[in-house]
Amino acid sequence: MPLSPYLNTFPVIGSNVFLHDSSQIIGEVTIADDASVWCNAVLRGDVNRIVIGRGTNVQDLSMCHVSHKTPEKPDGAPLIIGDYVTVGHSVILHGCTIGNECLIGMGSIVMDEVVIEDRVMLGAGSLVSQGSVLQSGMLYLGRPAKAIRPLTVAEIAYLRYSAEHYIRVKNNYLKQG
């Protein structure tokens, strides 16, 4: 298993979770049921905590990290990802909070203290600057990311569909051993 402790913390993994052998899950990381972490993704919870929600997928080559606690910021910047989130390939998430049923497009970078509310689609290659808040039900795109338009009903439905598709794929991997 690709699990490693850091000091006195060890990852906590829910049921029916798929962790690809090439992924690295280190330290204070909690992964809820039915989630998946794919090829060469890194979740490094060494200096703060990482929480991955139910049915969430972190795709290939993504990097998830945190910022440490200081006297000025006693909570530091943990990484909290909600339920049924799709984190696309080669995404960098650093000390941010992502709500439920979001899609973070391939190659995007989301910085410390960002809050992405529920049901947000972040287009591929976007950069979300430190401390930004992305409002629910919107498509964001660009460097820096800007609100483009409200999501359609079909796009909102796709957010959940995307995560559920990855649940089916990870179940196939778990079945084959």
HSE-up of 164 (CA within 13 Å, CB side)? 5
Closest CA to 177 of 21, 37, 32, 34: 21
Take residue 16 and report the two structure tokens written for it. 């029916």
C-alpha distances out from residue 10 to 32, 91, 138, Å: 15, 24, 36
129-168 pLDDT, tens digit each: 999 999 999 999 999 999 999 999 999 999 999 999 999 9
pLDDT, mean of residues 111-133: 98
**Does the pTM exceed 0.75?**
yes
Q: Residue 168's CB: how many other CB atoms inside 10 A?
A: 8
pLDDT over 90 (residue 1): no
Residue pair 135/120 in contact by the 8 Å Cβ criterion: yes
Summarize the confidence of residues 37-64 as an average pLDDT.
Answer: 98
CATH number of 3-170: 2.160.10.10
Distance CA 8, CA 23 (A): 21
- Provide DSSP, 14-59: -TT-EE-TT-EEEEEEEE-TT-EE-TT-EEEEEEEEEEE-TT-EE-
The residues spanned by each domain of the chain are 3-170
How far is Cα 148 from Cα 7, in angstroms, rounded to an integer? 43
Q: Looking at residue 128, what is its pLDDT?
A: 98
Q: For residue 107, which amino acid is it?
A: G
